[in-house]
Chains A and B, each alone.
Chain A
């Protein structure tokens, strides 16, 4: 099995990663971690830094989980990158983190998670920060 997880260095992102690790251990799957940025602004705090990624790498290695970490910066938004990776790795499950938002906020901002939910070809597991 293959699980794709959309990671961001926020509580929601950490929750998603933790859940994805639990799922991966359950049925010995390969974990694909995606952390992307459009690379448009000079600063993007949703793009994980090198030491952050190394920490994840180590965590997965010590738990003996087969994994791929991808950090695409090519102008696509996060939803497109997760869907892309899901297709490429023939994912059986996508894990994402959800932010709490009011209906109005959702209407204005649009939503990465919503796009993934609507367009994914496999089951999507949405997690909230604890």
Chain B
């Protein structure tokens, strides 16, 4: 299989890096070569973050290019618009239906983008109520795993494989809620498909 590019974006602190790590381990477990490229540093202080996961039989570059990402997963609506140019035509755009005001907006120096939801829907985005699904699963912090569940609808790695990956990477007490959140996310995406 030629390499697939998944770009994950969001706001520092939202759990994109853990989500990317889980996705990479799932791809590995599915027998693919994988590369995960993260940006550390300044991004950790509430700034915009992006992580790229590429997997396939052979993976070279670790970065995403404009119009070349098979999947863009955004943990936040404004970041989805910021990164929308990376999406391939016909690619899958998965967006957590959550909006976090950037500091310049909160301070009154800038405004939020106009018609964000409409623009995302026009672009074919699947908007997922990740927070609600995580709460339903019993742990609001599992939002990122609920998003991965929805993403699985495009990947086909299998729920069993994912459960093992999740079990190996999250704190033991949260395994159950994480697996539940994953399943809810998966069910949500399948209903939407």
* B is bound to A: no
Chain A residues within 8 Å of B, Cβ to Cβ: none
Chain B residues within 8 Å of A, Cβ to Cβ: none
